[in-house]
Structure 1
Amino acid sequence: MKTIKFLSVLFIAAVAASCSSIRVDADYDEAVDFTHYKTYGYLKDGVDKAEISDLDKKRILKAVDAELQKKGFTKSEKPDVLVNIFTKANKEVNINQGFGYGGYGYGGFGYGGWGPGWGWGGPWGYGGGYNAVSTHTEGTLYIDVIDASKKELVWQGVGSGVLTQDRSKKQERINEFVAQIIAKFPPQKDKK
């Protein structure tokens, strides 16, 4: 029984850790000199098409404003770059089988060792085991930076992670996504 409690605590800790992590990547046009960009605005048509609630759009734009202004950019009616956002969301279902003692080839690797317990006896050797099912929404936020004069995409940042439906934590989670994405803008070109 202690093993089940320990594994349950371990599972909950793993889920909590995965909820907080955001995977971020960025791509950019290497021919662009990003030091010339000082002002920004939003690509209204693009932002309007983002398939999220207007409240979440406002939250994202608020976070983008804060992060760009921290980097010294100024919002302008005649910007150097236009910022666009779009999103994707997928419902994820996780099924975790219980791990435990497998006995004599009926549910484990080896003889009486600890293992995942594949075999006739189920995950616990001679029967038993458990399944933990959880669901969450995995969201992806894209932030595009477009050269306003050329109307060309010059940088794109992408962040993916678990979303929250808890209204009191939405702005905080959105801030995390945006901060981690904008941390990669402007790109720091490798010095050779």
Structure 2
Amino acid sequence: MLKSKLIIMLALVSAMAGCVSTQQARVDFDRNSEIATSHYKTFAWLNETKALAESVDANPVMKVRIDNAIEQAFIAKGYQLVKEAEQADFTISYTMGSRDKVKVDSLPVMYRTSFMWGHSYYGGIGMGSDTRVRNYTEGKLAIDVFDVKSHQPVWHGWAVKRIKTSEQDNPSKAIKMVVEQVVAQF
């Protein structure tokens, strides 16, 4: 009896851990293998606006948070920020956006039996479904690195994350975490 309770408990903990991990950002990158980056020491923003393109409904306060988080992440990796792009080893820029999404799940409900007069003696067996509709926001951040000498793209890193309500109310921590995860791939 104790062994079966332990197995059930482990299964529940594993399932909960799986649910938690789905809340993390999906992070990936692509690298231009023809350009060496081991000598890089300094970086600058590609342009004054810092972002490659801004969406029409971009929050300017959020943009400042992202600008600062990206700068700090590259500085934390040991690179020095310089003002003039021509003086840097590489330049950086980024794009960001969010999209409202809808997820619909339709799950079968357990068979139910009922005994009604006029139906079969053994009762009717029916199958229903439980439909759940969830609205959520998915955010995406992509950071690009360009080689100053060759003017070629060197690296493109990105993250996609479902944005929780708590992160919308206090986005600084989530922004910092996602930016650090992306820049860690560089």
TM-score, normalised with respect to structure 1: 0.69
In structure 1, what is the equivalent of residue 27 of structure 2?
24
Is residue 40 from structure 1 mapped to residue 46 from structure 2 by the alignment?
no
5+ unaligned residues in a row in structure 1: which ranges? 1-10, 105-120, 186-192
In structure 2, what is the equivalent of residue 80 of structure 1?
89
Q: 2:61 aligns with which of 55, 66, 77?
A: 55
In structure 2, what is the equivalent of residue 170 of structure 1?
171
Cα root mean square deviation, aligned: 2.8
Paired with 2:77 and 2:179, the residues of 1 have a C-alpha distance of 13
Amino acid at match of 2:149: S
Aligned residues: 155
Identity %: 24
Question: CA offset at residue 138 of structure 1?
Answer: 1.2
Is residue 92 from structure 1 mapped to residue 101 from structure 2 by the alignment?
yes
- Asked if structure 2 preserves the Cα contact closer than 8 Å seen for 1:40 and 1:73, the reply is yes
* Structure (1 or 2) with the greater strand fraction: 2
Structure 1 runs (4+) deviating above 6 angstroms are: 11-15
1:42-70 CA-partner distances (Å, limit 9, x unpaired): 12255163223221111111111221111
Paired with 1:60 and 1:25, the residues of 2 have a C-alpha distance of 18
For structure 1, which segment, 44-53 or 128-137, has the greater mean C-alpha deviation from structure 2 after superposition? 44-53
In structure 2, what is the equivalent of residue 157 of structure 1?
157
User: Compared with structure 1, are the counterparts of its residues 133 and 64 closer, same or farther at alpha carbon in structure 2 (3 Å cutoff)?
Assistant: same
5+ unaligned residues in a row in structure 2: which ranges? 1-14, 114-123
User: Compared with structure 1, are the counterparts of its residues 68 and 55 closer, same or farther at alpha carbon in structure 2 (3 Å cutoff)?
Assistant: same
- Asked if structure 2 preserves the Cα contact closer than 8 Å seen for 1:89 and 1:140, the reply is yes
Question: CA offset at residue 152 of structure 1?
Answer: 1.5
Paired with 1:86 and 1:152, the residues of 2 have a C-alpha distance of 18
